[in-house]
A = this chain, B = another copy of it.
Amino acid sequence: MRNIAMTVSYDGTHYSGFQIQPGVDTVQQMLMNAVQKVTGESCHIIASGRTDAGVHAIGQVINFYTESNIPAERWPIAMNTVLPRDIAVIAAVEAPFNFNARKHAVRKTYHYYIERDRKRSVFTEGLAHHHPGHLNVNEMQEAAQMLLGEHDFSSFCSLKSTKSSHVRTLYSVDCVLEPHPLHGPGLLPQLVVKVSGNGFLYNMVRIIVGTLLMVGRGRKKAEEVQAILQAKNRHLAGPTAPPEGLFLWQVEYDNLQFPT
């Protein structure tokens, strides 16, 4: 029995999230179907974490056990041949037998893409959040710095969370302007909120972004974010930003490296 780990990218637009649910299309189900087509085995797929409906992934990490002797480097082609066009395996490695994509993740990074003003790209439908008005990016960046470090993030967590502890550590939160190569001359760079931490609660990145957007619009002051954090009260933070701007970008492990 071998433990195969993979990085997986998907466009979440047409899926009801990562996790299997009866009667709807999910990324996990598509991956299980693909492994079954490749190996003839039914398998259980472990992921670094779930993503919500409409959320995308650049570097989701999964692992599963198989009796198949397909070499690790052949797995991406084998899987991509049978996967739908909006899910792709980027890389695969044979992992230590006890490796678990969820339990062993030490750092996760998300990117949230925002198109501002009336500048819209025709190529980012479902892949960015369109914010019609002006945003004060400097103020957003100042507010973002209040979230760094170890905190109880109850204010930035869905009320539906079932976790016993809401303490997590954020390593970086940055609001940066980055040109998109398909934007070309004449279009403003996109605003990207990049968040890295040791773990994330249900809707945590989207609530952080929703709160930073209120700061960017001048509806909250940067300093207020510290009080919101300390209050541990979901009702004080901003709304949950829509899913389409969010990408699970990278998941890192101490005991596993993927080939580049």
Contacts and interface: CB of A to CB of B under 8 A. Distances in A.
Majority DSSP secondary structure for residues of A touching B: loop
Interface residues of A, number: 38
A56 B183 CA distance: 12
Nearest to A183: B58
B185 A58 contact: yes
Contacts of A85: 122, 125
B91 A186 contact: yes
A177 to B, nearest CB: 12
Given A181-B181, A184-B249, A260-B185, A11 B90 contact: no
A182 interface: yes
A233 B10 CA distance: 44
B118 A80 contact: yes
Interface of A: 7, 9-11, 56, 58-59, 76-77, 80, 85-88, 90-91, 118-123, 125, 127, 178, 180-187, 247, 249-250, 258, 260
